[in-house]
Amino acid sequence: MIRGCIAVEDTICDGCHQTIHYPKRYLITDEDDKVMRFCVECAKEKGYAHYLEEKDGKALTFLPEVELM
Ligand SMILES: [Zn+2]
């Protein structure tokens, strides 16, 4: 399962190990009972997230239905 979250406190990205500061968005996955947190850049790199063009700028959209296998 994949969830998009807002960092309520500083969180470490499990991909690039950079700190995700409040109130940035990040992604949680829990594959194989292992919870992983990814910053937006890593989420995009892994194909978990993409940007949709909107009238007032870019809106980040996570893809919870993405096929992981
Ligand atoms: Zn990262």
Angle at the Cα of 10 (from 5 to 16), degrees rounded to 5?
Answer: 80
Contacts of 20 (CB under 8 A, 6+ apart): 7, 10, 11, 12, 13, 26, 37, 39
Report CA(30)–ligand 1 centroid distance (Å): 16
* Angstrom distance (rounded) from CA 62 to CA 65: 9
Report CA(13)–ligand 1 centroid distance (Å): 5
Question: Which residues fall inside 5 Å of ion ligand 1, going by CB?
Answer: 13, 15-16, 39, 42
At 5, the pLDDT band (50, 70, 90 cuts) reads confident
**Whether pLDDT at 9 is above 80:** yes
% of the chain beyond a pLDDT of 90:
35
Domain ranges, ordered by start, for the chain:
2-62
The pTM is what?
A: 0.74
Report CA(56)–ligand 1 centroid distance (Å): 26
Report CA(43)–ligand 1 centroid distance (Å): 7
**Per residue in 21-58, pLDDT tens?**
998 889 998 888 899 999 988 988 888 877 666 666 66
Look at residue 67 in the predicted model and tell me its pLDDT: 45
